[in-house]
Copies of this chain bind each other. A is one copy, B any other.
């Protein structure tokens, strides 16, 4: 089990590094000088995390958080986490989460996260979803087909199930509108074959990077109008509304004394409400 934990944590760090390097190389190719910040935080009860934040000219703000936390869960959290009451609140969790807000209103915002959790049970979870301001049918098709191909290599039941979970989850009930065009979302994944579940989780992270790079390269040379930028800032308000009203990770983190700056790292850099 300790070996599994180490393997998973090292993967999340490696994926973070790979994504960061890929994004920075796009900035550099565009002759721009992005600002990179590292923010470390400690969990009072045990463990820590590190946020990497890129502020660039293509990537307006990308937050990537890698955490490894453990110890005893707060009382208020024990009933929220599967298997935690049987472990007397003892848990171990590690994961990566990424949210990317782009300068160009023609490139979707993106979200990806994957994680491994141990209580008295053990499981993987995660997913990815994309939020374009202007829906491009070609992008949609490419994104969903690529995710499906990744899933199908592991289990042909994964894609339809995880796609539906994503659509159900990333929905703004108060506006009766989806956050974006969806993707996949999975949780409590424990097939009985740890290695296979881990490989799937790795494949999700790899697929995310490949898909997003493709979409970015497709649109990054295009110019945009002031009106399109305005639409983007308004659309970002929906992202904020989702995160604060519905997102379980955000609300759970905030209610259990998580580090607010690390949790808010996913917030858009600039937002408008009209």
9 contacts between A and B (CB under 8 A): A173-B254, A174-B257, A174-B258, A174-B263, A237-B264, A241-B264, A244-B244, A270-B270, A270-B272
Q: Which residue of B lies closest to A241 (CB)?
A: B244
Q: How far is the CA of A271 from the CA of B237 in the complex (A)?
A: 9
Do A267 and B237 have beta carbons less than 8 Å apart?
Answer: yes
Known A237-B267, A244-B244, A245-B254; 7 more pairs at CB < 8 Å: A174-B258, A174-B263, A240-B240, A244-B245, A268-B273, A270-B271, A271-B273
Q: How far is the CA of A173 from the CA of B260 in the complex (A)?
A: 10
A219 beta carbon closer than 8 Å to chain B: no
Do B269 and A272 have beta carbons less than 8 Å apart?
Answer: yes
A156 beta carbon closer than 8 Å to chain B: no
With a CB–CB cut-off of 8 A, which chain B residues contact A233?
270
Interface string of A233-245 (1 = CB under 8 A from B): 1000100110011
Do A174 and B244 have beta carbons less than 8 Å apart?
Answer: no
Interface string of A109-128 (1 = CB under 8 A from B): 00000000000000000000
Do A174 and B254 have beta carbons less than 8 Å apart?
Answer: yes
With a CB–CB cut-off of 8 A, which chain B residues contact A237?
264, 267
